[in-house]
Amino acid sequence: PYITVGLAALLMLLPLAVTSTNGWMRRLGRRWHQLHRLIYPAAVLGCVHFWWQVKADWREPLAYAAALGALLAWRWQRSRTLASGGAAAAARAARTRSVWAKTEPRIIATPR
């Protein structure tokens, strides 16, 4: 069963890899964000896959699952803070987006 779970996670990640370019982001518009929310179930399935694959020492899969749980809890708490409104929360979100936008890798097209 761990192979099936791993394959399901991989199949969820394939459309994310294909649509991660700026061109696809423009083409899909708002639907791009909806599609890329597949990362959450894919990450959970990846942790389950790793957990089931390991036979003896469960410490490493447990560490990955704990890290994923912490990140998902932070993301959930952050979305609740932003949903509740407040200028301070909106300002923090804008600063976070600007930092990520500056560090995001860009695809540079070479002239032909």
Alpha carbon distance 63, 66 (integer Å): 5
> 26-37 pLDDT, tens per residue?
999 999 999 999
> 47-90 pLDDT, tens per residue?
999 999 998 888 999 999 999 999 999 988 888 877 776 666 66
Residue 52: what pLDDT? 92
- Are 46 and 85 contacting, i.e. CB atoms less than 8 angstroms apart? no
The DSSP line for 37-92 is: TTHHHHHHHHHHHHHHH-SS--HHHHHHHHHHHHHHHHHHHHHHHHHT--HHHHHH
Cut 0.75: pTM above it: no
